[in-house]
Amino acid sequence: DIVMTQSPDSLAVSLGERATISCKSSRTVLSSSNNKNYLAWYQQKPGQPPKLLISWASTRESGVPDRFSGSGSGTDFTLTISSLQAEDVAVYYCHQYYSIPPHSFGQGTKLEI
Amino acid sequence: EVQLVQSGAEVKKAGESLKISCTISGYSFANRWIGWVRQMPGKGLDWMGIIYPGNSDTRYNPFFQGQVTISADISVSTAYLQWSSLRASDTAMYYCARLVGPQQLPWYFDLWGRGTLVTVSS
């Protein structure tokens, strides 16, 4: 199985500053057949279910603010929040869907102000 | 509007059986994968398994294989997660979620239910 490891486990960032979360996979999630990275990012606020932010490593979902961006390829990925807002306080998870199921999540990164 | 409505919170004793549900509306239930994700108290997300209701193709995380059963009933657009004998360690929030992707190779979760809290006392 592919193991996803996020860093850091928790992160404190000031309002308006940049937040960067890393996600590394134990094997590549880049498909050679279509050159796509099978990697998604979710945001989970307290008491709520997760919400899809980004798919294919860098494709933002409709309605997701453009301060959220995803980058990376192969085994190393990053979620960046360019200017942190109070409503961005949450736990963020990466998710690989490259492998034949089971898929796997990172352990989560708690983002605080 | 697409909705995934999960059944209510459950309080059970170890050894009891349980079946929780996820009822879908707003799209064709048969043609999209539905998955279950566990979140233990204060912990992260665990990918449990998925089902394609159209043909009942089911894929489990080996960690959960044999511990739970995932099923679906197209006639009522509902997916289920069940246990035959609960353990205290099954105490968790369980989310159902819809997957994007073809039948042959499901991809990511695009919509989530609000979760069903299962509490098991020993």
Per-residue pLDDT of A35-83, as tens digits, reads: 999 999 999 999 999 999 999 999 999 999 999 999 999 999 999 999 9
> Residue B12, Cβ neighbours under 10 Å: how many?
17
Contact B67, B49 (CB under 8 A): no
What's chain B's average pLDDT? 96
- The residue of chain A nearest to residue B117, with distances taken between CA atoms, is A47
As given in the structure block, the two tokens for residue B76 are 């009522």
Residue with the two structure tokens 């869907």: A97
CA quadruple B25, B27, B31, B36: dihedral sign:
negative
Residues from chain B contacting residue A104 (CB–CB below 8 Å): 47
Q: How many residues are given for chain A? A: 113
As given in the structure block, the two tokens for residue B21 are 């549900």
Q: Which residues of B63-74 are buried (b: 16+ CB within 10 A; e: fewer)?
A: ebeebbbbebee
Q: What are phi and psi of B76, to 5 degrees?
A: -120, 10
- Least CB-CB distance to B115: which of A49, A97, A103? A49
Q: What is the mean pLDDT of residues A17-43?
A: 96
What's chain A's average pLDDT? 96
Whether cis (ω within 30° of 0) applies to the bond prior to A8 is yes
Q: What is the mean pLDDT of residues A10-28?
A: 97
Q: How confident is the model at residue A85 (pLDDT cuts 50, 70, 90)?
A: very high
- Least CB-CB distance to A52: which of B47, B50, B108? B108
Beta-bridge partner residues of B42? none
The β-bridge relationship of strands B10-13 and B116-121 is: parallel
Beta-bridge partner residues of B21? B80
Q: Is the pLDDT of residue B102 over 90?
A: no
Of A16-20, A100-104, B55-59, least confident by mean pLDDT is: A100-104
What local confidence, expressed as pLDDT, does residue B58 receive? Answer: 94
Q: Report how far residue A81's alpha carbon sits from residue A70's, in angstroms, rounded to the nearest whole number.
A: 9
What local confidence, expressed as pLDDT, does residue A100 receive? Answer: 77
Q: Is the pLDDT of residue A102 over 90?
A: no
